[in-house]
Structure 1
Amino acid sequence: MSVSAKISRRAFATGLAVVAFGRKVSLAQGFAGLGGEASGFAAVTPGRSFVFPADHAPHPDYRIEWWYLTANLSDAEGRAYGAQWTLFRQAMQPGPQRDGWANQQIWMGHAAVTRADTHRYSETFARGGVGQAGAEADPFRAWIDSWQMRGLDGMSAMNIAPLQINATGADFSYTLRLDADKALVLEGDAGYSRKSERGQASYYYSQPYFTADGTVTIDGKSVSVSGQAWMDREWSSQPLAPDQTGWDWFSLHLGTGEKLMLFRLRQTDAKPSFAGNWIGPDGQSVALSPESIEMTPIAMTEVADRKLPTSWRIAVRDRGLAIETLPLYARSWMGTSFSYWEGPVSFTGTHRGIGYLEMTGY
């Protein structure tokens, strides 16, 4: 399979360029071209001051950006569900924003629901400049076609809550209300998320404290659900190095109230690199030492003509964490134009809880 067919939300930029404009992606540019040249686009550097609500809006000087939410849900009988909502923006060219159809922004939406016996997904595309898709800071709204993530009355800019999200596919839909009583947290080093030692990085913040209530509909049958949700906001111009081939990313809700974000970046001719943040019940986010993180596959699943590691052993020695993860549905394949694995997980060990796993580049 070509490298442009292995793209997830973090590898959207050049892959979408292939679909929209027929450009070829060189393997020498790294995973999906995200290690390629980004001349003319803004650079990510340490020490940025985040400003809310302004940073909830797009950053068109940067090449790639997303608004991304995952929710771990259950119904009244305790059956587990997952929901994903993602809006991507990519600038096809740098420079001042042009009006109408001349606008250089391309937008893509992904939505999915997962149950123990099924995974459903949908995808939609839009061109910028004509109102079909976009994002606004105040009042907050991110949308593509009829899919929306929008602030409700009294929304706190620091909490980005309350929100309502909705999406509809051919055989599923969902509507969720999201509330949070704690402020956003900055991932990486105060929001600067290093992806390589050669300077590749992104700006990255999260809202890991959402509670969720709403309805999920699959094949015309609706159920009321509630649970926990996690939102990521990230933007960059060159987030990967040329020799980085993909990643494995977790967002985890620990039963003790802590939150954990981890990722492993796989590289050619080198050991993987690790990064993560431990987020306390009080909202304090602390970057983890890469040397303290272990992520080891322990079970494989064959899906979409490839084998993927769908169960993992994870350790964070500095925090006394040692867990094993289990997918809700091992075949949670996003068979979109840019395909990847993404779905809800549970875990046991020194800590118990739920979360989400994304894997790309396999």
Structure 2
Amino acid sequence: MNARLLYLLIFLLGLSACSEAPEPPSGFAGLGTEVEGYPQVSRNDRIRFPEALGAHPEYRIEWWYVTANLTDENGQDWGIQWTLFRQALQPNQGKAKGWQTPQVWMGHAAITSATHHWQAERLSRGGTGEADAQAQPFKAWIHSWRLSSQQEASFSPLEVYASDQDFAYRLQLSTDQPFVLQGDQGYSQKSEQGQASWYYSQPFFKVEGQIEVDDQQLQVRGQGWMDREWSSQPLAPGQEGWDWFSLHLETGEKVMLFQLREDGKDYYSGTWISAAGEPTPLEPEQIQMQPLELTRVAGRQLPTHWRLQIADYDLDITTRPLNAKSFMDTLVPYWEGPIFFEGSHQGRGFLEMTGY
């Protein structure tokens, strides 16, 4: 979350009486700054379920992130995004209630086709009941948007719902695969200096349901991916943004890759996930990511086509977007959209680019 967003949230949500606005932070979204009073991610801890599904308000930031690559009954390709962010404006305030809680929430939803990109944003304050996340039964929501379990005692199946003036979707996500712990048993390092987050994924969702655009209701099905991450300082000072890929290989494997950009000292990380759900962390030197083609989007040049290589797994692919204009023109702007890839492997996935 960058300074502009923080100030806008304070203004829009009436938070100025609760805390003084901090100095403008450095790095993308202010996530490369030191923050006193927040717990830091430590290798000595571990991810625990089902607690990991719910909110962690003592940490500075976290998110629940769902993407899906879909096809309708006419063979047309689509992508959807549903994201819920939580940000703490101050370290843990103990028993603060209602509007006195230092938590703010932001939701993003989008539908992407080859020719259009629909998007919407929601903002809310913690402590009001309008936005939150609970572990069991699992539910994450902001206003009417929700990601929620359909059974009391199990995570899957889920329903994801969002709507705006020009679009809506209601999808069912199901899987019998366990969660994938990214990095070292969920400890995901983000720099050589030791910044890290807790990070796990569910990349094996089967998805079906309905989308509505242009007064049309379409039946869709496909593959989904959920990322879950929380931290107090996920970036190092000087890191300006990231390029993140989730890949569904036609052979059944899944791959997560990201690079954090910093003036020639880019930091790489990733995971190779077998079709059975077994993750193998990738070392930075195993990963090569090369931008191939730039697209002028929202007044900036963005690398929308890439070459990705993991020699140890004989992966050498080129990616292309379903829609090169899949830009989230939200309070914190970024590019997010469905991609296709070909080469040594074929498949579909998602790309997110921030900090450009």
TM-score normalised by the chain length of structure 1: 0.93
- Any idea what SS the aligned residue of 1:19 has? helix
The match for 1:135 among 130, 133, 145 is 133
Residue of structure 1 in register with 2:118 after alignment? 120
Residue of structure 2 in register with 1:276 after alignment? 270
Shift of 1:18: 2.6
Deviations 1:49-106 (CA, angstroms, capped at 9, x unpaired)? 2221111011111000001000000012211000000000011111214101111110
- Any idea what SS the aligned residue of 1:262 has? strand
Q: Superposed, which structure 2 residues align to 1:91-240 within 5 Å?
A: 91-95=88-92, 96-153=94-151, 156=154, 160-240=155-235
Provide structure 2 residue ranges, at least 5 long, that are not aligned to the other structure. 12-20
- Any idea what SS the aligned residue of 1:101 has? helix
| 8 Å contact from structure 2 (residues 137, 152) kept in 1 | no
Q: Superposed, which structure 2 residues align to 1:1-362 within 5 Å?
A: 12=1, 16-21=5-10, 23=21, 26=24, 29-95=26-92, 96-153=94-151, 156=154, 160-268=155-263, 270-362=264-356
Letter in 2 for 1:34: L
| 8 Å contact from structure 1 (residues 97, 104) kept in 2 | no
Shift of 1:153: 2.2
d(CA) in 1 for partners of 2:95 and 2:194?
27
d(CA) in 2 for partners of 1:94 and 1:36?
14
Provide structure 1 residue ranges, at least 5 long, that are not aligned to the other structure. 1-11
| 8 Å contact from structure 2 (residues 104, 126) kept in 1 | yes
- Any idea what SS the aligned residue of 2:151 has? strand
| 8 Å contact from structure 2 (residues 137, 151) kept in 1 | no
- Any idea what SS the aligned residue of 2:265 has? strand
Shift of 1:13: 6.4
- Any idea what SS the aligned residue of 2:266 has? strand
Letter in 2 for 1:278: W
Shift of 1:24: 6.2
Letter in 1 for 2:122: T
Shift of 1:213: 0.4
d(CA) in 1 for partners of 2:174 and 2:28?
36
Shift of 1:259: 0.3
The count of aligned residue pairs is 346
Percent same amino acid among aligned pairs? 51
Letter in 2 for 1:172: F
Closer, same or farther: CA 192–222 of 1 in aligned 2, 3 Å: same
d(CA) in 1 for partners of 2:308 and 2:74?
30
Shift of 1:337: 1.0
d(CA) in 1 for partners of 2:49 and 2:99?
29
Letter in 2 for 1:323: I
Residue of structure 2 in register with 1:4 after alignment? none
Letter in 1 for 2:121: E
Letter in 1 for 2:107: G
Closer, same or farther: CA 257–15 of 1 in aligned 2, 3 Å: farther
Letter in 1 for 2:6: A
Shift of 1:253: 0.4
Shift of 1:197: 1.3
Shift of 1:130: 0.8
| 8 Å contact from structure 2 (residues 136, 152) kept in 1 | no
Residue of structure 1 in register with 2:14 after alignment? none
d(CA) in 2 for partners of 1:18 and 1:353?
41
Shift of 1:272: 1.5
d(CA) in 2 for partners of 1:318 and 1:50?
28
Shift of 1:154: 5.8
| 8 Å contact from structure 1 (residues 14, 34) kept in 2 | no
Shift of 1:14: 5.2
| 8 Å contact from structure 2 (residues 160, 171) kept in 1 | yes
Closer, same or farther: CA 308–25 of 1 in aligned 2, 3 Å: farther
